[in-house]
Structure 1
């Protein structure tokens, strides 16, 4: 628990005198001579990348992060008793927008973050080829597992509830895997001679809970401890997986959020291919089937296993809808561009 006495050495380099502290876990709300502040502590290992990425973004003019106050001697964090502490203003986060608009703002700002921090880095052909071969090899083995397991289930005189549901879901899972494989092949063909790949600074824990609003309604990212340099889709894919992991529905709003993102972050054709490839892949359903298969019968909980399999299938179908809508949009854009080019000639 963070107390005034514990935080005094942390706040001293900022010239802050604490009056009262509300401990809310990792973040402490501090009432002080310089207003209401948020003080957060992180591990030293996480802190190195965090400070470096924050400094890089500030230097490039990106200011839609909850401001990290520097100490009087210019540091962005203070070391105390084995942990790093940093100080921010306390935001009330009272945004009056509805859920859809809140997500629109989040994706618009994420696109700006990725655009400002983007850079091309060199990659040799051998690395790209190795990644492609390792992925195709793993996916071929997983397709083989699906095929062999469905055959085994169908040969069983009395299928278990899990086996019965797996057989019903097999075709959809297999089609999703095939779609992902085709996109991966397209990606490799279009990039095998390229010598660079684009990276950005990703947030690392993208969520509306980590996008806070000030009194003017301006949105700011916080909880940047998971930030790192990676592909921009390392932010999008985990967010989509969590969002789509629910009962079956048409996620048109999800398609619109992604369209908003792509309107403000110009993704290259090969980047979109790889994004679609990873998004469509039914990894969680395959993992669930493999776990059930390798679990001894005496240790299986059939009811829980079936419920989990069904949820992974719902995720697959929700993702399928989003992927098909995005694929349709991209196909129409390509047709319109080709028609425009023909009209000019």
Structure 2
């Protein structure tokens, strides 16, 4: 209480008891229960700017940040920045599936309200494409070189033997990702704009809490910034697929819940598919083994690659379902257009 009383004084709040939750303190006070959050000072200006922008645009599913008595939204104390919010009960009134559905609906609404086109020169777009393509080509060369190295041995290590079994799947994922990147570039190379939104930056069910009415609110906007929507989607989906092998229809449903409210343009979907399917984690695991020195055992390297390969296969299933759904949508649109043209000809 002695530590936090000087901070809370700026809000005219007198603490009766403070419960420690790491970077968050639960404050019981003369004015109710509050959440006092500590962040690094360099996060402060942009964090407050993005929240105020969202409020101005009508987005109100952010846990309110209380101003101090003199109107500031944060207090600098002992080199740390603090801000005050209400403490939400966060009682789960829905199951895990529904919780994710509501979170993705709200994320889409956040993106819809903050969307804006920004200029991107053809030169910058070309440079991004060429640099990424070059990096992925080097990764392909490494994959191919390491498989040759493994197969040239009279006796392979257990890790190398496992890699030879996984090689085709990793190689195919990289090929698919590279193909989608090329399709994206061909589609957009003459475009001089790209669509951005204010992204949350740390989308997680831990950062989506419920009030006593069952309404969900985002918190923890310290990493919010203007960027492309997939920078919110990709990290979340990747984390949710880091499990034992499974066919995650939930992940497909969450994504299309989002897309129902914030549809991707064709080029955005191509770029999303490219980055989503890129086998970066398993590639990184293989490169670490290849460069290994004394330290991690063979077994630890095998276990690490196994987990990254499961992520790749779980991602592959979701990617196949996205491909299937997008093809069905394109087919339905083509049939509708053909039907409309036929009806127009008959009327003529």
Same fold flag (TM > 0.5): yes
4+ aligned runs moved over 4 Å, structure 1: none
1:146 offset after TM fit, Å?
Answer: 0.5
Report the counterpart of residue 59 of structure 1 in structure 2. Answer: 56
- Structure 1 CA distance for aligned equivalents of residues 93 and 157 of structure 2: 49
Instruction: Report matched runs for 1:102-251 at 5 Å.
Output: 102-251=99-248
Contact 1:125 1:192 in 2 (8 A): yes
Q: Which moved more, 1:71-80 or 1:261-270?
A: 71-80
- Structure 2 CA distance for aligned equivalents of residues 269 and 17 of structure 1: 54
The counterpart of 1:320, out of the listed 316, 334, 337, is 316
Instruction: Report matched runs for 1:60-75 at 5 Å.
Output: 60-75=57-72
Report the counterpart of residue 308 of structure 1 in structure 2. Answer: 304
The counterpart of 1:283, out of the listed 280, 284, 287, is 280
Report the counterpart of residue 37 of structure 2 in structure 1. Answer: 40
Instruction: Report matched runs for 1:20-39 at 5 Å.
Output: 20-39=17-36
Instruction: Please say if 1:274 is aligned against 2:271.
Output: yes
- Structure 1 CA distance for aligned equivalents of residues 2 and 288 of structure 2: 50
1:9 offset after TM fit, Å?
Answer: 2.4
Structure 2 residues without counterparts, runs of 5 or longer: 342-348
- Structure 2 CA distance for aligned equivalents of residues 344 and 190 of structure 1: 26
Give the structure-2-normalised TM-score.
Answer: 0.96
- Structure 1 CA distance for aligned equivalents of residues 15 and 241 of structure 2: 43
Report the counterpart of residue 342 of structure 1 in structure 2. Answer: 338
3-state SS in 2 of match to 1:273: helix
Contact 1:292 1:300 in 2 (8 A): no
Q: Which moved more, 1:224-233 or 1:184-193?
A: 224-233
3-state SS in 2 of match to 1:20: strand
Report the counterpart of residue 294 of structure 1 in structure 2. Answer: 291
Count of paired positions: 341
3-state SS in 2 of match to 1:45: helix
3-state SS in 2 of match to 1:30: strand
Judging changes above 3 Å, is the alpha-carbon distance between structure 1 residues 175 and 89 closer, same or farther for their aligned structure 2 residues?
Answer: same
The counterpart of 1:96, out of the listed 71, 93, 98, is 93
Report the counterpart of residue 346 of structure 2 in structure 1. Answer: none
Instruction: Please say if 1:78 is aligned against 2:75.
Output: yes
Structure 1 residues without counterparts, runs of 5 or longer: none
**C-alpha root-mean-square deviation of aligned residues, in Å?**
1.1
Give the structure-1-normalised TM-score.
Answer: 0.97
1:32 offset after TM fit, Å?
Answer: 1.5
Contact 1:124 1:195 in 2 (8 A): yes
- Structure 2 CA distance for aligned equivalents of residues 120 and 7 of structure 1: 43
1:300 offset after TM fit, Å?
Answer: 4.9
- Structure 2 CA distance for aligned equivalents of residues 331 and 236 of structure 1: 21
